[in-house]
Structure 1
């Protein structure tokens, strides 16, 4: 049964969210002063922690992807990805950086061009440096943080059955205490960080939508208009929530991707195409060339002002967003290998982001370098960065059409960010349920819109942004500890395989079924009803016969039954339990494709396939006698004991 609510998480998170907004509004400008001072103190005294942490997360992700650990699946060994690669990539892209790309693709390169840290302003050198810095802030480092957090959650949730919550990443460090106050606190903090982080971005998004509507239709730029837009778009987000993950977020994410590619292609084709293609290649080259230097640059020989205002700001922002994005990409990545997860999440969105930033950023740079009176420069200089994208589109044909498409794209990014954020928060508040109740998702979607609107009116967005960045410091340490736990868990998996290879092989053959009969069974195609009857008549008695013998040896053994699946679980105290079971799997007679049991017909057949704790073993034991099945189970149990022996030495 799906858990509806985790009271120790939901109630404090809801109270603190509402109370936090009220406190920020009542404190007014004082809240921003306090939070900004805290942020500045942290970045001045411990800013190097962000830089070292981000750099180590990236190195760790790449090393793991290239290691043998990369073959491990985020789920049982026989699991398959829930979503196609294109759908998966679209959701990665939409959740990670959607609104930000629309807002900063033009504004950030122009800002660096006007005030570069290591070049003369408004020169060719400043233009080149502005793109490298933009790539640096929006590139592979951000996704390295998301990957480490997402790996921790997906691995322990899908492979070891822990809740899909932030607390599960700490399991190797505190064990079952994740289910107590410490775990509740971690999840509450994650909910609040997600709520205020997404609300802040939604505030930026709606200001850009308002700017676009002003540019196209002359709609007034004002707080009442923006609050109305938030209300409308929040209602759209609730509709997406009701549609569910597959029909809601997945479809909207794919729409986002198609619209983004279409708008990108238009600017690329109608703009300076050959220049942009060359700039993309050169920007990547400069980025790779300066990657190590930029990663570990903490401005030790300078005043650190620019690093704090830009690089450390971004590092803190990505870290503060990592519970949200990491948990979401974990949720959509069940069944993929660790290598596929890392490579796909690191390089797929990053390369697309680089292309996006090049097409928009270099187009804008080319425009302003040849026109000192460009409206793009006026918008950025005047502190109206939300107008920069539309000022660029206005230099190209069909500006009204492309501006409308841009507004639609920002809106759909808004909706998917709100929807995916609601999914994450409701999953946390429901104790890690993969399908949290609709009412919870609606609650968080509506609260997100209310928070964004209230803070937009009260001017609290900057205060909360500063607070979120300051809070990212302790979470950097949490991510590091979670990765240490991951390494320990993967080492135990390696030990498990070593145990399986070194354990003695017990013979399965017996006298109950002659070998000729067994040979015929290997080529048989039994009906699902026959396999189900065999499970009830042979497998279950075999398991029951083992229970008292296990108890004599001091281990509690229990039988677990689920539709078409029967398993024996042997408890080993603090060590992982041993699980051996048989599952009825039905197949089409002509294609050997697995089908639902409810879809069987006269041409289908079934197998009794063995599964263990780590997943399906892909071999059939239908027709085994009771003794043969016990012997097969003992063979795997001996592997398990050998693994526990290895694990003690590894741990």
Structure 2
């Protein structure tokens, strides 16, 4: 079959007038209905919602654990393969010769802030500590909980969850969207990334379904992040002297949840109204600077040598273990309390949950990465969006989490950090370090962490609102229809608040794992479509057939 120019036109019907002018009615209205039903269900019938979601979650964990683990492994292999493949690595995610819109610092700041930044403040301390207490090696009796022989294993699992796999999920989505939108001239929306497989049929019902799945996954993925962040924000407010928002164990009260959401979503909606180039860019730069200051504190005044050892030895151990961890699936024998049962349960709680989280987050972060990465090569994109952020996560886990472990193991913390709620661990640790020196200094550090947490949360939330509107508007990146920005800001707050109040972060986690499953299928198809498109473009270039939207005459038939 003769080669033809690639598809460079994918019409998506949008409303010409009225409240939904410029938006795809099918995608926007159905997405709003699904999210609204979820909110009402969780708030009005919390017990019923919890039971149903919990049952679905168990089915997914029992039957799809291997799917999640092997799928993320595929994303890592495809990303690294594209970067190393000469034909692909040199391709510009834009027209030939196009330069990036943002500086490297702003690009990395926005990418890290929207992608995982907020998670560092909770999990950089909480996760190494959690794995120091329990992980598969402890379950199998190979290492000892809370002892020095378990530190290296704790870091293998921490680095696995926040390393190449996490960022590969984002990179695959970002690469596919940037490639098809900025090289082919297709709409900046999820369906465009599957055009080599389904062609113009994506203008219709199939394309609408794909975009709806992406919107729902985005809302649930961001809700998971905000759920953790809200609880930590409330813990921080309590630490700086604002009482009545948290219980004695550090968990947020209903009042605390409402107050935190009003502050965070109010600020994020205002930022979203100002667009990517203004509010989000400046917030990202601010939280990157504050992050460097906080990280510098841990490196200089925390467990400096312990953290350095955790970083370098941890990376070595992680890379050695990565091939096995990328394919290993623990099978339960169905006997509660048995070693096989505990291993499978642990894998569902940690790796499977994380892979679902990153996949649910991928349409949002991927589209956002595509938006800010135009003009960069595929090789540069993979390096900047996958490898560099992984190393930054490792630095945080090594020195922030390493300081916590060292204080418990060798510094006499005596359970002060271990006993704190996950969101409160970083505050408990800094208070333990600074209060003997100065109460004022300890309070000031807590204030800085609260400010940093808020900027990360606002960046994630306002980026998500803008991305959801971009998908609903058939890929139109321009600011439009402010009422819709306000709706999605309010909807996101209600999803988080409703699920937190009715079932805590566990309810959000369950909904997110379920919502991520259909989008994981879309992402596997993205990999296939991207490889097919790049391979065929190489053949087209050899045959003198144009591959860029600017070079494809409108009259030429496309495949």
Measured against the shorter chain, the TM-score band is 0.7 to 0.9
> Are positions 1:206 and 2:230 aligned together?
yes
Corresponding residue SS for 1:569: coil
> Structure 1 333/180 Cα, relative in aligned 2: closer, same or farther at 3 Å?
same
> Structure 1 233/218 Cα, relative in aligned 2: closer, same or farther at 3 Å?
closer
* Counterpart for residue 548 of structure 1: none
- Match among 356, 362, 369 for residue 396 of structure 2: 356
RMSD of the TM alignment (CA)? 2.2
> Structure 1 26/106 Cα, relative in aligned 2: closer, same or farther at 3 Å?
same
What is the CA-CA distance between 1:278 and the residue it aligns to?
2.7
> Are positions 1:571 and 2:555 aligned together?
yes
Q: Which has the larger radius of gyration?
A: 1
* Counterpart for residue 476 of structure 2: 433
Q: Gaps spanning 5+ residues in structure 2: where? A: 1-13, 138-142, 247-252, 333-339, 435-440
- Match among 430, 443, 458 for residue 487 of structure 2: 443
* Counterpart for residue 387 of structure 2: 347
> Are positions 1:310 and 2:350 aligned together?
yes
After the TM superposition, which residues 229-628 of structure 1 pair with which residues of structure 2 at under 5 Å, given as runs? 229-300=260-331, 302-303=340-341, 304-370=344-410, 371=412, 373-379=414-420, 384-397=421-434, 398-437=441-480, 439=482, 440-459=484-503, 461-500=505-544, 569-575=553-559
> Are positions 1:26 and 2:63 aligned together?
no
> Are positions 1:106 and 2:90 aligned together?
no
* Counterpart for residue 23 of structure 2: 5
What is the CA-CA distance between 1:404 and the residue it aligns to?
0.8
* Counterpart for residue 120 of structure 1: 144
Q: Please tell me whether the aligned partners of residues 50 and 503 of structure 2 are also in contact (alpha carbons under 8 angstroms).
A: no
What is the CA-CA distance between 1:20 and the residue it aligns to?
1.4
1:348-401 Cα shifts (integer Å, max 9, x gaps): 11111100111111100001113362311111xxxx211111011112233211
Question: Structure 2 CA distance, aligned partners of 1:189 and 1:296?
Answer: 27
Corresponding residue SS for 2:553: strand
Asked which structure has the greater RCO (Cα within 8 Å, sep 6+), the reply is 2
Question: Structure 1 CA distance, aligned partners of 2:51 and 2:413?
Answer: 36
* Counterpart for residue 7 of structure 2: none
Corresponding residue SS for 1:167: helix
What is the CA-CA distance between 1:33 and the residue it aligns to?
2.3
> Structure 1 187/461 Cα, relative in aligned 2: closer, same or farther at 3 Å?
farther
Q: Gaps spanning 5+ residues in structure 1: where? A: 502-559, 576-651
What is the CA-CA distance between 1:46 and the residue it aligns to?
2.5
Q: Please tell me whether the aligned partners of residues 217 and 519 of structure 2 are also in contact (alpha carbons under 8 angstroms).
A: no
Question: Structure 2 CA distance, aligned partners of 1:247 and 1:273?
Answer: 37
* Counterpart for residue 437 of structure 2: none
The number of equivalent residue pairs is: 509
With structure 1 as the length reference, what TM-score do the two structures score?
0.75
Q: Which of the pair is proportionally richer in strand?
A: 1
Q: Please tell me whether the aligned partners of residues 152 and 310 of structure 2 are also in contact (alpha carbons under 8 angstroms).
A: no
Corresponding residue SS for 2:474: coil
Question: Structure 1 CA distance, aligned partners of 2:501 and 2:352?
Answer: 28
Q: Please tell me whether the aligned partners of residues 210 and 219 of structure 1 are also in contact (alpha carbons under 8 angstroms).
A: no
Q: Please tell me whether the aligned partners of residues 276 and 362 of structure 1 are also in contact (alpha carbons under 8 angstroms).
A: yes
Question: Structure 1 CA distance, aligned partners of 2:163 and 2:198?
Answer: 33
With structure 2 as the length reference, what TM-score do the two structures score?
0.87
Corresponding residue SS for 2:432: coil
